[in-house]
Amino acid sequence: MADRKRLTTSAGAPVGDNQNSLSVGPRGPLLLEDLQLIEKNAQFNRERIPERVVHAKGAGAYGYLEITADVTRYTKARLFSEIGKRTEAFLRFSTVAGERGSIDAARDPRGFAIKLYTEDGNYDIVGNNTPIFFIRDGIKFPDFIRTQKRDPQTNLKNPTAMWDFWSLSPESLHQVTILFSDRGTPRSHRYMNGYSSHAYSWINSEGERFWVKYHFKTKQGIKNFTREEAIKVGGDDPDHATRDLYEAIARGDFPRWRACVQIMPMKDAENYHVNPFDLTKVWPHGDYPLVEFGELVLDRNPENYFQDVEQAAFEPSNIVPGIGFSPDKMLQARLFAYPDTHRYRLGANYATLPVNSPHATESQNYHRDGFMRFDGNGGPSVNYEPNSFGGPFEDSSVKEEAYNFEIDGMAARYNHREGNDDYTQVGNLFRLLTPDHQERLIDNLADSMQTVPHEIQVRQIRHFARADRRYGEGVARALGIDPSEIAEIAETEGAEAAPTA
């Protein structure tokens, strides 16, 4: 008893009775002056913070990125400066559409968000387990996500909304194909790859720029559930992937990924046959092979889930000298959206929370005040700039290097669907799947589309068929639709050509 800590109120005063509320007589009523009763309940009532609009269900862990190859001729970022160098990392994995308590086994892309605590500040690579995405312009993001969330009337997931949107947005076809393949239901977070998906830039010490895409290849091997397995696991253990990650790290079986990058010289981007900044396209490995530069390892579970995982705030806008953005329209929209949503969800001082603040350096700026400021708030130091009192000042050696390339063009709302080939890479993917994997893909699609109105089914099947005739015909047959109907409808609508292989 002697060495047990004394229970106190938030103000530090000792609590004499934490079992019985203060009442008039043994049967009540209660007295308003029972401040212990009121403080406990008032605090409890405020425990939940808004969940993330997307990626609400997640699991996270600490670890490191170790550099294993010399890439200094491409980037001067100090985290890559020497072989053997380790940078502390925090990773969060997530599903996208479900709520905070939703099942880990859902068919959904998985978030794969990395925070690297470098000596030049935090570098966040906020990607997914897919190399591409459903849309290529951030102006469509709220529309797309609504189709993945709950119906405004029934509060149920609505396959009609999903397939209506996808069938009217052919740029989604590539990601839809990955989503309904086996990779849409990874066995757990350890058994999947991560991708930056976007192109970023690497800038070397001569100021030369290269476009890059990151690939983190699981060393545990790709392992997926079939649809039937995912349904069973989701029922048996809704948190199976959260559990798997925690338990693997706790027993010392640390998950590892090969850290690789595709590198495209800037000049290539001008004439490459696909827009390298289109988030619905990959850069084929034949043209831009993977260059391995490191190993990503997770070796420490957080001590407290809420503090580290729920309060983690990743933002693609966190870059360091030697790294830059790209013109990718989705990336550009995300540069705004992430810090904006964190300010709403966590408050203006979210960046000072332990998991979000730089670990390997100090942030020094003139931000002051705001809700929940508890980092000293700059103390008595000067709070404006320029000043004559020793406050932090800018470092011109890193001045706008992230933006120093030429861009020209007319300001306009360019139609991102015009002249865009949404089918070739999808066909390539379909054809690299084994016949039994193709069958499972088609079966998963038919299962999802079965309740959707006929005209939407047909509109979507025409997209599958344009990627590969066998793909379209397979889905049509699985839904009991005569493949010839796809061509007939195309003709009567006159909108698009009949499917060809």
**Binding span for ligand NDP by CB under 6 A among 1-9, 10-18, 29-37, 283-291:** 283-291
Structure tokens at 170: 């052919």
H-type helices in 237-303, by residue range?
A: 240-250, 266-271
- Choosing from 58, 60, 131, 294, the residue that interacts with ligand NDP (CB under 6 A) is 131
Identify any residues that bridge with 264 across adjacent strands, giving them in sequence order: 211
Q: Are 325 and 77 in contact (CB under 8 A)?
A: no
End-to-end CA distance of the chain: 78
Q: Give the nearest distance from C-beta 383 to ligand NDP in angstroms.
A: 47
Largest CA distance in the chain: 86
Q: Give the nearest distance from C-beta 456 to ligand NDP in angstroms.
A: 24
Nearer residue to ligand NDP within complex by CB, 313 or 429: 429
Q: Specify the 3-state DSSP secondary structure of 323.
A: strand
Structure tokens at 131: 């190399």
Nearer residue to ligand NDP within complex by CB, 284 or 370: 284
How many whole angstroms separate alpha carbon 163 and alpha carbon 453? 9
Give the total of residues touching ligand NDP (CB under 6 A).
17
User: Look-up: residue for tokens 């072989």?
Assistant: 83
- Choosing from 282, 298, 313, 449, the residue that interacts with ligand NDP (CB under 6 A) is 282
Site string for ligand NDP, 215-244 (x = CB under 6 A): --x----x----------------------
Q: Give the nearest distance from C-beta 460 to ligand NDP in angstroms.
A: 18
Structure tokens at 328: 């990718």
Nearer residue to ligand NDP within complex by CB, 272 or 305: 272
Structure tokens at 12: 């530090």
Q: Give the nearest distance from C-beta 222 to ligand NDP in angstroms.
A: 6
Nearer residue to ligand NDP within complex by CB, 282 or 486: 282
Interaction residues for ligand NDP, span 182-221 (CB under 6 A): 182-183, 193, 217
Nearer residue to ligand NDP within complex by CB, 81 or 220: 220
User: Look-up: residue for tokens 């209660």?
Assistant: 30
How many whole angstroms separate alpha carbon 298 and alpha carbon 301? 8
Q: Give the nearest distance from C-beta 83 to ligand NDP in angstroms.
A: 24
How many whole angstroms separate alpha carbon 172 and alpha carbon 169? 6
**3-state SS string for 109-167:** CEEEEEEEEECCEEEEEEEECCCCCCCCCHHHHHHHHHHHCECCCCCCECHHHHHHHHH
**Binding span for ligand NDP by CB under 6 A among 31-39, 45-53, 142-150, 176-184:** 176-184
Q: Are 125 and 89 in contact (CB under 8 A)?
A: no
Q: Give the nearest distance from C-beta 283 to ligand NDP in angstroms.
A: 6
How many alpha carbons fall within 13 Å on the CB side of residue 126? 22
Q: Specify the 3-state DSSP secondary structure of 296.
A: strand
H-type helices in 384-453, by residue range?
A: 424-432, 435-449
Structure tokens at 433: 């799947």
Q: Give the nearest distance from C-beta 14 to ligand NDP in angstroms.
A: 59
Nearer residue to ligand NDP within complex by CB, 185 or 201: 185
Q: Which residues are catalytic?
A: 55, 128
Nearer residue to ligand NDP within complex by CB, 164 or 468: 468
Q: Give the nearest distance from C-beta 136 to ligand NDP in angstroms.
A: 15
Please give the helix or strand (H or E) that residue 233 lies within, else none: helix 227-236
Interaction residues for ligand NDP, span 414-453 (CB under 6 A): 425, 428-429, 432
How many whole angstroms separate alpha carbon 137 and alpha carbon 329? 5
**Binding span for ligand NDP by CB under 6 A among 135-143, 177-185, 318-326, 484-492:** 177-185
Q: Are 42 and 30 in contact (CB under 8 A)?
A: no
Nearer residue to ligand NDP within complex by CB, 95 or 352: 95
Q: Are 403 and 319 in contact (CB under 8 A)?
A: no
Q: Specify the 3-state DSSP secondary structure of 118.
A: strand
Neighbours of 243 (CB within 10 A): 14
**3-state SS string for 443-454:** HHHHHHHCCCCH
Told to check if 285 binds ligand NDP by CB under 6 A, we report yes
Polymer length in residues for the chain:
501
How many whole angstroms separate alpha carbon 140 and alpha carbon 208? 33
Nearer residue to ligand NDP within complex by CB, 55 or 215: 215
Site string for ligand NDP, 294-313 (x = CB under 6 A): --------------------
Q: Give the nearest distance from C-beta 439 to ligand NDP in angstroms.
A: 13
Residues that bind ligand NDP (CB under 6 A): 131, 178, 181-183, 193, 217, 222, 282-286, 425, 428-429, 432
